[in-house]
Structure 1
Amino acid sequence: MNFYEQSSGRGIEVCVGLTLLFIALVFAALIGVVFANSAFGSIAVLGSLALALCSWWFGKLGYRLVFNKPRKGGGLLSNHGLKMCCVFFGICSILLVFVSILQREVSSLFSAISMLIACLYGWQFAKKRQDKDL
């Protein structure tokens, strides 16, 4: 079994789940801040929808971890959900590589490269899990 596929233990799952639930609450509170400090324009509505989506996603993951409720197919994320996270964080990492080079930030450059490697591993893991399911 690969190191990244080993169980972290129930205690760590609960701690990460509580952290994710806290993040979901922060995103939900930000929706209130957006509406309290801006007019009800299209930008505020779109921003609030994006914040609501983030809040829902982090809340769902936190709920699954805290209450030990895995997906029906097993795991925390679906294959497509894992791939979408890898694409999102991969694109952000590539952008951070360029920004780090422009601003000559070596630590940010190494962080972005590390995240890009993690995204590539996550993509391969999702593909392997998808091939195993077929």
Structure 2
Amino acid sequence: MNFYEQSSGRGLEIFIGLIVLLIALIFAALIGLIVSNASFGYSSVLGSLALALCSYWFVKLSYRLVFNKPRSGGGLFSPNILKTGCVLLGVSSILLGLFSISQNDIGSLLGALGMLIACLYGWKIANKRKDNET
């Protein structure tokens, strides 16, 4: 087991779980703002649905962290969700890298490269977990 896969300790898991719960509550509050201030329309319904899905996902993560309930296959994320996150962050880091090149911002370019490397490592972990589940 390498450094990134070691347990962080139960206290830190609970602390992070409570922070994740706060994020879920913020998403729920944003839904309330949309419902109270927006007119009923296509964009407000889709926006509320997207926020509700994000809130649900963060509540689920918080539950797993606070009550120490990992997935049946182990870990917080399924291999497919981990790969999806890696793809989204990878594409975002490539776009950030292109933008930072156009703006001559070396710091942002280095950050984008670091994020891309982390996404590739996450993809590798997802493949390893998928192999272990089958």
TM-score, structure 2 normalization? 0.93
- 2 CA distance for matches of 1:44 and 1:62? 26
CA RMSD in angstroms, aligned pairs only:
1.2
Show structure 1 runs of 4+ deviating over 6 A.
Answer: none
1:69 maps to 69
- 2 CA distance for matches of 1:104 and 1:129? 39
Unaligned runs of 5+ in 1: none
Amino acid at match of 2:11: G
1:96, distance to aligned residue in structure 2 (A) = 1.4
Amino acid at match of 2:116: L
Alignment length, in residue pairs? 134
Amino acid at match of 1:72: S
Question: Percent identity between the aligned chains?
Answer: 63
1:38 maps to 38
1:102, distance to aligned residue in structure 2 (A) = 2.2
TM-score, structure 1 normalization? 0.93
Q: Is the 8 Å Cα contact of residues 73 and 133 (structure 2) preserved in structure 1? A: no
- 1 CA distance for matches of 2:102 and 2:50? 29
Does 2:84 align with 1:92? no
1:18, distance to aligned residue in structure 2 (A) = 0.8
Unaligned runs of 5+ in 2: none
